[in-house]
């Protein structure tokens, strides 16, 4: 299921462009303006619920931090559990971690070792606000597999198709971008 023209207009109309952020020449797509626009946020969440209601999901896993917002709301709407994937050192219990390369170094994300134990062979949707180069998303999808669950799809509000993150992540799971930025 893809967006209708009306849904696309509402959601895209709520995204703010910030020129020259975080550096000159970059146009940052600010999705926080979707969150403070009740019509846009509701339209987005209804679209996501319609798309994923038939996926027979057990959990939604959201990537720190905006993935928590969209993911927790979607998990509630679908009647499934929510699992946070956080930056290293933020989760209180025993974790499994995965490193990924940044343009300026290495970072790491973690998940609780027992995140999906309530359901054997859990079916999980991974969600975040944006996919660019894909490092965090690929690491998060790997974590889902490492703890014994299946990442049935990875969903992003914005997919930057001019970067290679989507292609990298497709090796781990199917990818859906609500809005593609070319």
In the three-class reduction of DSSP (H, G, I as helix; E, B as strand; rest coil), residue 163 is classed as coil
The DSSP 8-state label assigned to residue 26 in this structure reads -
CB 131 within 8 A of CB 177: yes
The yes-or-no answer on residue 66 being catalytic is yes
Give the separation between CA 38 and CA 14, rounded to whole angstroms: 10
Q: In the annotation, is 103 catalytic?
A: yes
Residue 30 · residue 52 · CB < 8 Å: no
Q: Measured on CA atoms in the order 180, 12, 22, 156, is the torsion positive or negative?
A: negative
Burial grade of 40 (CB within 10 A; 0-12, 13-18, 19 or more)? buried
Which helix (DSSP H) or strand (DSSP E) does residue 153 occupy? strand 150-160
Check 8, 16, 50, 103 and give the catalytic one: 103
Annotated catalytic residue, options 8, 16, 66, 110: 66
80: three-class secondary structure by DSSP? coil
Catalytic residue positions, numbered: 66, 103
């Amino acid at each position: 299921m893809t967006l209708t023209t009306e849904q696309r207009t509402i959601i895209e109309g709520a995204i703010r462009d910030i020129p020259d952020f975080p550096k000159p020449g970059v146009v940052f797509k600010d999705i926080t303006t979707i969150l403070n626009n009740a019509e846009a946020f509701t339209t987005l969440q209804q679209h996501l619920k319609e798309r994923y209601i038939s996926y027979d999901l057990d959990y939604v896993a959201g990537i720190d931090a905006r993935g928590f917002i969209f993911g927790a709301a979607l998990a509630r709407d679908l009647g499934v559990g929510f699992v946070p994937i956080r930056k290293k050192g933020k989760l209180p219990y025993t974790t499994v971690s995965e490193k990924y390369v940044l343009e300026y170094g290495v970072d790491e994300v973690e998940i609780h070792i027992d995140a999906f134990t309530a359901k054997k062979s859990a079916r999980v949707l991974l969600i975040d606000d944006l996919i660019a180069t894909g490092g965090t998303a690929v690491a998060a999808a790997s974590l889902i597999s490492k703890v014994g669950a299946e990442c049935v799809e990875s969903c992003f509000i914005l997919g930057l198709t001019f970067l290679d993150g989507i292609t990298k992540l497709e090796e781990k799971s199917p990818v859906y971008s609500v809005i593609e930025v070319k």
